Amino acid sequence: MPDVPVRFRGRHVLVVVRGIGYKDDLAALRRSGYLQEMKPLLVGVDGGADALREIGYQPDVIIGDMDSVSEETLRSGATLVVHGYADAAAPTPGAERLDDLDLEYATFRSAGTSEDIAMLMAFEQGAELIVAVGTHSSMIEFLDKGRPGMASTFLVRMRVGPILVDAKGVSKLYETRVRKRDLLFLVLAAFFTLVVITIISDPVRLVLRGFLLPFK
């Protein structure tokens, strides 16, 4: 576990991966007020960091092999953690890219996936809650992908399960829509309120009489 200058303990941590439905779920979290009220620590997994910037937020931590993150985002000031192979002798492409860009970084070596180590880092550093967007979650993804790393994903979910909330499908579960019927009721209620005020308010009646006087 690398030592990074970011405080996880006692905070909500939003882990963003550019998986299926991530845009809708991020938009739903923003509309709900969660991002503004809870101010979670923002962790972008590779391109997930760009996804955060697309909705107007700066990632606090970027984790991954750095192959799908824009250079602009890498230079945004986030703490960079390169996902390295478990074998220390194996080359680390992400580190090579950051070296070329002259950027400082830490290295997290693991046989799992980048989203796994993002969750493990948050969990081991004492996060209060982990909210996952765009991550793998279904049994098909765990067992039918034919990727060795998915076994790690399954085990990591078991490890961090008590504090993990998957935001997948939030946008479908709850949508903030204003129905036409509700809007009509609102307009009628406002009109009724104005009528009542006009009837019971002497100053208003006096103004109306003064306005209508020239027409008589």
CA-nearest of 131, 84, 136, 130 to 111 is 84
Q: Is the pTM of this model over 0.85?
A: no
**Cα 9 from Cα 129, distance rounded (Å):** 10
Strand 129-133 to strand 61-64: parallel, antiparallel, or no bridges (unpaired)? unpaired
Asked, for residue 209, whether it belongs to a domain, the answer is yes
39 and 97 in a single domain? The answer is yes
Asked, for residue 5, whether it belongs to a domain, the answer is no
105 and 127 in a single domain? The answer is yes
Asked, for residue 27, whether it belongs to a domain, the answer is yes
Helix, strand or coil for residue 92?
Answer: coil
How many helices and strands (H and E) does the chain possess?
A: 11, 7
Query: What's residue 77's pLDDT?
Result: 93
163 and 206 in a single domain? The answer is no
Residues spanned by the domain of 198? 180-215
165 and 184 in a single domain? The answer is no
Asked, for residue 1, whether it belongs to a domain, the answer is no
Query: What's residue 174's pLDDT?
Result: 54
Instruction: For residue 28, give every residue at least 6 positions away whose Cβ sits within 8 Å of its Cβ, in sequence order, or none.
Output: 167, 170, 171, 174, 175
103 and 196 in a single domain? The answer is no
90 and 143 in a single domain? The answer is yes
Query: What's residue 103's pLDDT?
Result: 94
Asked, for residue 2, whether it belongs to a domain, the answer is no
Average pLDDT for runs of 10 along the chain of length 216: 91 92 87 89 95 94 93 95 82 86 92 90 94 76 60 83 81 58 77 72 67 64
112 and 207 in a single domain? The answer is no
Instruction: For residue 111, give every residue at least 6 positions away whose Cβ sits within 8 Å of its Cβ, in sequence order, or none.
Output: 85, 86, 148, 149, 152
Q: Provide the domain count of the chain.
A: 2
Q: Rg of the chain's alpha carbons, rounded to an integer?
A: 26
| H or E element at residue 80 | strand 79-84
CA-nearest of 109, 108, 119 to 153 is 119
